[in-house]
Chain A
Amino acid sequence: MELASLSANLLLVSFVAYLIATMFFGGAVKGSNSEATYKNNRWGNIAIVITIIGFITHLGYFVLRWIASGHVPVSNMFEFTTAFGMMVVGAFILLFFIYRTPSLGLFALPLAIIIIGYASMFPRELAPLIPALQSYWLTVHVITAAIGEAILAISAVAGLVFLLKNVDLTKLSKQRFWLESVMFTLILVVGFILSASTFAAMGYEAKFTYITQSEQQAQIVYNYPPLFGMNEYESLTPDKMTPFAEMPAIVNGKTLTTLVWSVATGTVLYLLLRLVLRRPVATLFQPFAKKANSQVMDEIGYRSVLIGFPVFTLGALIFAMIWAQEAWSRFWGWDPKEVWALITWLFYAAYLHLRLSRGWEGKKSAWLAVIGFIIIMFNLIAVNLIIAGLHSYA
C-alpha cells in the first residue's frame, strides 16, 4: 500500500508540474518578439525543463503502480487515461525537440491536464486483472496503441494552434462556429470534472435496485443526484433525491444522469465565460497562438501523423489482432472497440492520401487532425462507457 500511495503522490506532482510549465510556456510566447527569441526563449527553456520533471514523476507513478499491482497499469479507465495523458506529454516533448516551438506546449500541456483530470474521476483503487487481460499482450498492445494515439493527438494540438491563428474570429463564419464548438466541448469536459469532484467531495451516494436488459435484478450506486432512474428502479436510500424520469432497460440512467450534470455544469461555465468576455471563448486563446508560425504548425501536424500512424497501426491493429486471436480465438470480431480502432486508422489513411495527392494542407488538414482526435476520444470515452462490448472494463 505504501507504493500505491507514493505512486498517487507522484501523479499529483506531475499534474502540478504541467500546470506550472503551461504558465511558463505562456510567458515564453508572450515575451518573445522575433522568431529567434521565440525559439530559444529563457521562459521556454524553463518550461520544457519543468515539463520533463513532470513527465519523469508521471513515469514514476506508472512504474510504482506497476510494481504495486503486479501488472501494467492500463487495465481500467483511470489507469489507461492517466497513461494516455503521460504519453501525450511524452509525444509533445519529442516534437518540441524537433521544432522548438513554445506555442505547442501552451496547448498540449493543458490538454494533458484535462485528460489526467478526467481520468481521476474514475475509481482509482488497484484492481486485479480478469482472466481475459492476463497476458503480456496487455502490456504490448495497450502501450503501443496509446503511444500511437498520443502522437496523433499532438497533430490535433498543432492543428488547433494553426486554426486559432488563421481563422478570422472577428466575423461570423462556419470555421469560427466549429472552432468555438471545439472550445465548448473542452469546457464540457471541465464541467464533468468540476461536477464529479464536487459531488465526490460531498460524498454523495444514492443506491437503487433495477431490472437489467436480461431481466435480472441488479444494484447500482449513483454519485450524482439522480435525474434519470434505471429501468424499474427502487430506491434503497429514500432520503436521497427521487429521479425525475424512469428509463427503459437499454438506456443506462446513471450514465445519462452523469452526462446531463456534466453538460449542464459545462454549459453554465461556458455561458459565464461568454458573459464576462462578451466575445467567443476562442478569442481568449487566440493571442497565444498568434506568435506561432503557420507553416511550422502545419508541418508538425503532418509530421506527427506520419510518426504516429505506423505506431498506431502496430499497436491498435496488428498487436491487437494477434492478442485477440490468442484470447478470443479470432483476430477480428467486429467488437465496437475494434471497429472504432479501424475507423481511426481509415480516417488517418484518408488524411494521408488527401494530403499527399490532393494537396490538403493548412486549414483543411488542421481540421482533419482535430476530427481525428475527436474520433480517438470517442473510442476512449463513448465506446467504453456507452456502447458496451468486450472492451468495456471500466
Chain B
Amino acid sequence: MSKIRCQCGHENPFGTVLCERCGRPQTEEAKKSKLIDMRYEGSARRSQTYKKSIIDKVWNFFSSVKIGVSIIIAVLTTSAIGTLFPQKLFVPVVREVDIAAYYEKYYGTAGVLYYKLGFYDMYNSWWFITLIGMLGISIIVASIDRVVPLYKSLKKQRTKRHVSFLRRQRIYGFGSVEDADGSMAKAEEKLKALRYNIKAEDGALLAEKGRFSRWGPYVNHTGLIIFLLGVLLRGLPGFYVDETLWLREGETRSLPGAPGYYLKNNEFIIDTYSKGEDEVFGEAIDRVGTIVKNYQSDVTLYKEAEGGLPGQSEQLEFVKDYSIIVNKPLNFDGYNVFQMDYRLDELKSMTFSLTEKASDTSLGEFTVDLINPESIYRLGEDTYVELKDFYPDYDGTEDGKPKSKSPVPNNPAFIFKMVTPDKPAGEMSFVAIRSTLETEPNDYKAKFVSAETRDTTGLVIRKDKTLYILLVGGIIFMIGVAQGSYWNHRRIWIQEGEGNELFLAGHTNKNWFGLKEDLDKVKDFANLPLYEDRQDTESSMDEVKGDNS
C-alpha cells in the first residue's frame, strides 16, 4: 500500500481522507463534497482501508458502529423479553421437568414457548453470553480502529490549513476587514480570555479547547471492558463464593465456602412497626397490616484453633459477636454473611410421657431432640423407650412403609418400642402428630406432652474478589462518560488571505451553539468577517448522512 503524497508535500498513510498536515481533501469524494466529514479528522482508519483478507473482514465487521448498535439492540430486546415471565431462579421448583411444567401451568402456550426458546434462563444461555461477548469484542475493535488514527492526527495537526479545508467546514466565514493584523491580535486576546489554547504561525491562528473530551468514549469503553473482564473472572474457582446456610437458634455450624470458620446462631429476631412507637405511620399500618421493621440474627463467629485438626469443632476460638441485619452483613476475612431468609417456629423437640392407657398413669417423660434424636430413652430400670425409626417430615406411606419428605422436622413421626416391666418384649407404636397407629392393641402409649420450637435464620455467605475489578471498571467508565459528555472539543481557525482578507472557520464535536456563542464574542470584539452555519437549519436536518460504517 503506497503512501499518498499531498500537494503540500506531506506523505499521508494510505486511506487518508484529509491531509494530516494541511487538511486538503485527498479522495475524490471529499474533494467534491461541500462539507467535509470531520469525524476522526479524516484519518486513515484500518477498517476503511483494508478490506481484503478474512482478518480484515472480521475486523471491519466488529469495528462497524452499525453492527455495534445492532448488538446493543439485540441485547436490549432479548433482555426485555426475559422479563415477561419470571426467570428460572425465581421459580419455586428445581427439577428441569417441574420447571417446564411450571411455565406450562401458569403461562400456557406462551410459557411453553418461553421455556423452549430458553428465555426462562436467558441470562445464562449460550446465545445471551455470545451476544455479550460480541459486544465486548465490538467495543475493543471499534475503539482501537478509531482512537489510534484520531490520536495521531490530532497530535500532528498544523496551525495553518489549506483554504480548501477551511471552506469545507460547517462554520465558515470570509471577508475583508479594516485591519487584518489588528483583528488577528484582538481575536487572539479574546480567545485567550475564553480559555482557548492558541497556536499561531505565519498569519494563521488555531484556537483549541477541550481536546481531552475526544478521549472520553475510549476511556469509558476501557472501563466497560474492565467491568466485563471482572464478570468473566467470576467463573474461575476461588474468585467467587456463594453459599447458603440455614442455621437454627442455638446451633453452631461450619460456614460453607469459608473453611475453618464456624457460626453460632444465638437468636433470630423479627420486629414489626407498632402504632404506639411509630405514631406517624399509624395510617399506613392500619391499611397494610403488619409491616416488618427489622430482621436480625445475633450470631457468634468462631475460628478453628491453630494447629487443631481440620473439621474438629471442639477447639474453636471466639472471633466476634455480631448482629446481622438486612443492609448490614457480617464481614470477616473477605467474606460477607447476609441476612436473607428465615423460618419461624420450627419444632425443636417433643416431649412424651409413657402412659399406661387403662389407669392413665405416667411412667415418666422423655424428650426427643428432633435434629439429633437418641435411640433409647431410659425411664427406669426395666422401663425404656426405643426409637426404632424417625421420619422428620412424614409424608404418608409408600409400599406400606412411612416416608419422610425432607430432613426438616415439619411433621415428625416416630416408631417407638415401649419396654415396661409388664411387657419386657416391648410394644410397637407408630406416633405422628394427631394420630397413633398400633399393629396390635397396646397397653401403653407415648402421650404427647409438649413441644419446643425455635426460629431458623437463612444466611448467604459470599466472597467476591472481582468486586474491586468491577468497581474500578465502573469508576473508569464514569470518568470517561463524564469527560465525553460534559466537555466539548472546539476549534477555531483564523487565517489571513490577500490584503486585509480573513478566513474564519470553526468545528466542534458537539454543542454547536456553545461554539457559536464563543465565536460571536470573538467576532464582535475583534471585528472579524461574518460567518454562517452551513448546515442548512430547517430543511436538510433529517437525513444527514454519516459514514455508514
CA distance A331 to B546 in the complex (A): 38
Question: Would A130 and B486 be within 8 Å (CB), given that A326-B329, A346-B76 are in contact?
Answer: no
Could you mark each residue 116-132 of chain A with 1 if its beta carbon is under 8 Å from any beta carbon of chain B, else 0?
A: 00000001011110111
- Residue interface mask B464-482, A partner, CB < 8 A = 1: 1001001000100110011
Name A307's contact: one of B82, B123, B485, B548 (CB within 8 Å).
B485
B542 at the interface (CB under 8 A from A): yes
In the complex the two chains form, is A127's CB within 8 Å of B80's CB?
no
Q: Using Cβ atoms and an 8 Å threshold, which residues of chain B touch A296?
A: 513
B327 contact set on A, CB distance < 8 A = 131-132, 134-135, 137, 326-327
Residue of B nearest to A345 (CB): B76
Given A123-B287, A354-B69, residue A130 in contact with residue B485 (CB < 8 A): no
Nearest CB to that of A347 among chain B residues? Answer: B76
Kindly provide the distance from the CB of B424 to the nearest chain A CB, expressed in whole angstroms.
50
Give residues 231-283 of A contacting B (CB, 8 Å). 249-250
Q: Which residue of B lies closest to A162 (CB)?
A: B541
Residues from chain B with Cβ under 8 Å of A334 in the complex: 82, 87, 89, 123
Shortest CB-to-CB span from B462 to chain A, Å, is: 5
Q: Which chain A residue lies CB-closest to B535?
A: A295
Q: Is A220 an interface residue (CB 8 A)?
A: no
Contact check, A362 vs B481: say whether CB atoms are below 8 A apart: no
A314 to B462 Cα, complex, angstroms: 24
CB-contacts of A310-367 with B (<8 A): 310, 313-314, 318, 321, 325-331, 333-334, 336, 339-340, 342-343, 346-347, 349-350, 353-354, 356-364
For chain B, residues 485 to 518, give those with C-beta under 8 angstroms from any C-beta of chain A. 485-486, 510-513
| Chain B minimum-CB-distance residue to A327 | B327
A364-388 CB contact bits vs B (8 Å, 1 = yes)?
A: 1000000000000000000100010
Whether A306 and B510, one on each chain, are in contact in the complex, defined by CB atoms closer than 8 angstroms, is yes
Q: Is A56 an interface residue (CB 8 A)?
A: no
In the assembled complex, the Cα of A346 lies from the Cα of B132 at a distance in Å of 12
**B106 on the A face (CB < 8 A):** yes
| Residues in B whose Cβ lies below 8 Å from that of A294 | 537-538, 541
Judge whether B326 and A357 touch: CB under 8 Å.
Answer: no
Taking CB atoms, residues of chain A closer than 8 Å to B285 are: 128
Query: Is the Cβ of B542 less than 8 Å from the Cβ of A359?
Result: no
Given A326-B327, A336-B83, A340-B83, CB of A359 within 8 Å of CB of B546:
yes
- Whether the pair A362, B541 counts as a contact (CB closer than 8 A) is yes
Determine the chain A residues whose CB is within 8 A of the CB of B156 once the complex forms: none
What is the CA–CA distance of A126 and B293 in the complex, to the nearest angstrom?
Answer: 15
Q: Determine the chain B residues whose CB is within 8 A of the CB of A350 once the complex forms.
A: 69, 72-73, 76
Give Cα A104 to B287, complex, Å: 41
User: Given A126-B284, A298-B541, A334-B123, does the pair A346, B72 have CB atoms closer than 8 Å?
Assistant: yes
The interface residues of chain A lying within 8 Å CB-to-CB of B92 are 214
> Bound state CA distance, A175 and B521, in angstroms?
40
Which A residues touch B79, using CB under 8 A? 339, 342-343, 346
- Given contacts A126-B284, A127-B291, whether A329 and B83 have CB atoms under 8 Å apart is no
| Contact pick for B273, options A128, A302, A303, A313, CB 8 Å | A128
> How far is it, in angstroms, between the C-alpha of A68 and the C-alpha of B281 when the chains are bound?
10
Whether A131 contacts B292 by the Cβ 8 Å rule is yes
The reply on A69 being an interface residue by CB < 8 A is yes
Known interface pairs A329-B329, A346-B72, A346-B75; A213-B281 also in contact (CB < 8 Å): no
- Digit string of B38-72 for contact with A (CB within 8 Å is 1, else 0)? 01000000000000000000000000011011001
Given known pairs A357-B65, A362-B542, the reply for A299 and B284 (CB within 8 Å) is no
Report A392 CB to chain B, min CB distance, Å. Answer: 12
User: Once the chains bind, are B281 and A127 in contact (CB under 8 Å)?
Assistant: yes
Establish whether residues A295 and B541, one from each chain, have CB atoms under 8 Å apart when the complex forms.
yes
Q: Contact at A131–B325, with CB atoms within 8 Å? A: yes
- At the interface, yes or no: B332 with Cβ under 8 Å from chain A? no
- Given the known inter-chain contacts A310-B485, A343-B79, A354-B69, please indicate yes or no for A126 contacting B546, CB distance below 8 A: no
A303 to B511, Cβ gap below 8 A?
yes
A182 at the interface (CB under 8 A from B): no
* B284 with A125: CB separation less than 8 A: yes
- Closest chain-A Cβ to B146's Cβ sits at a distance in Å of 9
Scoring B residues 79 to 105 as 1 if CB is less than 8 Å from chain A, else 0, what string do you get? 110111001010010000000000000
Interface residues of B in 265-317 (CB under 8 A from A): 273, 278, 280-281, 283-285, 287-288, 291-295
A35 CB to nearest B CB, Å: 12
B338 contacts partner chain A, Cβ-Cβ < 8 Å: yes
- Interface pair B481/A313, CB less than 8 Å apart: yes
Residues of A within 8 A of B278 (CB): 128
Cβ of B340 within 8 Å of any chain A Cβ, yes or no, is yes
- Verify B292–A130 contact, CB threshold 8 A: yes
**Interface status of B440 (Cβ within 8 A of chain A):** no
**Known contacts A128-B291, A131-B292, A361-B542, A310 near B76 by CB under 8 Å:** no
Asked whether B467 lies within 8 Å of A325 as measured between CB atoms, the reply is yes
Min Cβ gap B34→A in Å is: 15
Q: Are A327 and B326 in contact (CB under 8 A)?
A: yes
Roughly how many angstroms separate A394 CA and B325 CA in the complex, as a whole number?
23
A358 to B291, CA, bound (A): 52
Does B293 contact A128, Cβ atoms closer than 8 Å?
A: yes
Residues in A neighbouring B73, C-beta threshold 8 A: 346, 350
Q: Once the chains bind, are B284 and A363 in contact (CB under 8 Å)? A: no
- Which residues from B are CB-within-8-Å of A329? 242, 329, 336, 338, 340, 460, 462
Nearest A residue to B538 by beta-carbon distance?
Answer: A294
Give Cα A214 to B287, complex, Å: 23
Does A1 have its Cβ within 8 Å of any Cβ on chain B?
yes
Q: Give the shortest distance, in Å, between A359 (CB) and chain B (any CB).
A: 3
Chain B nearest CB, measured from A351 CB (Å) = 9
Asked whether A15 is an interface residue with its Cβ less than 8 Å from the other chain, the reply is no
Contact at A125–B283, with CB atoms within 8 Å? yes
Question: For residue B326, which residues in chain A have a CB less than 8 angstroms away from its CB?
Answer: 131-132, 134, 327
* Most central of A128, A296, A302 by chain B CB within 10 Å: A128
Q: Is A309 interfacial (CB 8 A cutoff)?
A: yes
**Residue numbers in B under 8 Å from A310 (CB-CB):** 478, 481-482, 485-486
B83 close to A339 (CB less than 8 A): yes
How far apart are the CA atoms of A227 and B419 in the complex, in Å? 66
Which residues of B are found within 8 Å of A140, using beta-carbon distances? none
Roughly how many angstroms separate A127 CA and B287 CA in the complex, as a whole number?
10
Known: A126-B283, A132-B327, A329-B329. A309 touches B541 (CB 8 A): no
Instruction: With both chains docked as a complex, state the minimum distance between the C-beta of B125 and any C-beta of chain A, in angstroms.
Output: 12
Q: Is B202 an interface residue (CB 8 A)?
A: no
Which residues of chain A are within 8 angstroms of B511 by Cβ–Cβ distance?
A: 299, 303
Q: Provide 15 A-B residue pairs closer than 8 Å at the C-beta atoms, listed in order of the A residue.
A: A127-B281, A131-B294, A131-B325, A132-B326, A134-B327, A213-B106, A294-B541, A306-B510, A309-B481, A327-B327, A339-B79, A353-B68, A357-B549, A358-B66, A358-B546
Which residues on B are within 8 Å of A, measured CB to CB? 39, 65-66, 68-69, 72-73, 75-76, 79-80, 82-84, 87, 89, 92, 106-107, 123, 217, 242, 273, 278, 280-281, 283-285, 287-288, 291-295, 325-327, 329, 336, 338, 340, 460, 462, 464, 467, 470, 474, 477-478, 481-482, 485-486, 510-513, 537-538, 541-549
Task: Contacts A359-B544, A362-B544 known; list 5 others, CB within 8 Å.
Answer: A307-B485, A313-B477, A329-B340, A346-B76, A358-B66
Give the top 8 A-B pairs by smallest Cβ distance, nearest first: A359-B546, A125-B283, A127-B284, A362-B541, A131-B326, A329-B338, A357-B65, A358-B546
